[in-house]
Amino acid sequence: MSRNHGFLLYVAAEGVLFILSVVLYLLVPTGRDMIVVGGMVVLMIPGFVYHVYREKTIRKLSKYLTRVRNGHYDFEMRDYKEGELSILKSEIYKMTLMLTEQAELLQKDKVYLADAISDISHQLKTPLTSIGMMADLLDADVLPDEKRKEFARNILHSLNRMSWLVTSLLKISKLDAGTVILKKEKIQLKDVIESAVKDLLILLDIKAITLLIQGNEEDTVMGDFPWLAEAIGNFVKNAAEHTKEGGTIAIYYEENLLYSSIVIEDNGNGIAKEDLPHIFERFYRGKNAGVESVGIGLALAKQIIVMQKGSVEVESTEGVGTKFIVKVYR
């Protein structure tokens, strides 16, 4: 059955007028020619009215679509009637709502991109300025050898910091763009953790931080080895940066029927209560953040874990320490 009520009304009106014309033609013996002509004229009226209605509705839809094409989404187009044109209006209105939501998301993305570029520029500007100043000092003829070596070490440290920042940003961009395909392989938890802390052993040694690793060497996890090691390494790096000299970092790992877990616990500065909801936000720096903290390590780590069907929980008490609980579900 047709859902176009306007067309059905038109057909019904035409039918009624046709029947009346036939009845008049049969009942009135005289002037039948006039009845035929009059009937034909009257039969044209519903068609004309229906045509005008359709033209008006189509013009309204065309005007609405033009406004949408020009980026104006505030035009009311909802129609609670039945009929094919009303259904078309409703579908166009739904499309407009979807376009409105996409436009709002794009605007948020633009704001986020502008803020991110500003943050990145700031993070790069500081070490670049420092490198420039020390390079000028190295050019001095009267600079003692000890100072020259110190400046060279500082320049190398700043370059390493910039390299880590750029590399981390590239990794985040790849994850955001969906160009990274994370593997789902069975790997030893012990191997992942050892790989994660390998590049941090010098830092831990310099600060005389004790590293404890406990767990069953046979326990495994389903994930992508390099990326999982990257995430765990960022959690350990964060713990090392916020743990005082002579402190302790403990890593516990285990496997059960539902998930594999890795717990990274330190007795460092802890995280302020007001900062806890924001620590995984990019470029966020809490009040206890270190001088060289950038604010992307934890964001990258959580993104990697979540993309491997995992979760991250954090427990922290300011002045006591922090515990990160990583779970990767089987």
Express each pLDDT in 44-90 by its tens digit: 565 556 666 777 777 777 777 777 677 665 655 555 555 566 667 77
Q: Under a CB-based contact definition with an 8 Å cutoff, are residues 330 and 308 in contact?
A: no
User: For the residues 282-295, what does the mean pLDDT come to?
Assistant: 66
Is the pLDDT assigned to residue 27 strictly greater than 90?
Answer: no
d(CA 243, CA 270): 9
Alpha helices in the chain (DSSP H): 5-27, 32-69, 84-138, 145-177, 189-197, 201-206, 225-241, 297-307
Which structure tokens are listed for 175? Answer: 């994850």
Q: What domains lie within the chain, and their CATH numbers? A: 5-101 (no CATH), 109-177 (1.10.287.130), 185-329 (3.30.565.10)
**In Å, what is the CA distance from 4 to each residue of 1, 10, 44, 330?**
9, 10, 20, 53
Whole-number Cα distances in Å, 44 to 25, 31, 32, 37, 56: 18, 20, 19, 11, 18
Residue 269 has pLDDT above 70, yes or no: yes
Structure tokens at 102: 């996409």
Amino acid type, 315 = E
Confidence at residue 318, expressed as pLDDT on a 0 to 100 scale: 87
* Lowest mean pLDDT, pick from 72-81, 212-221, 273-282, 316-325: 72-81
Residue 100 has pLDDT above 60, yes or no: yes
CA 186 from chain centre, in angstroms, equals 28
- The string of pLDDT tens digits covering residues 134-160 is 888 777 777 788 888 888 888 887 787
Mean pLDDT of the chain: 78
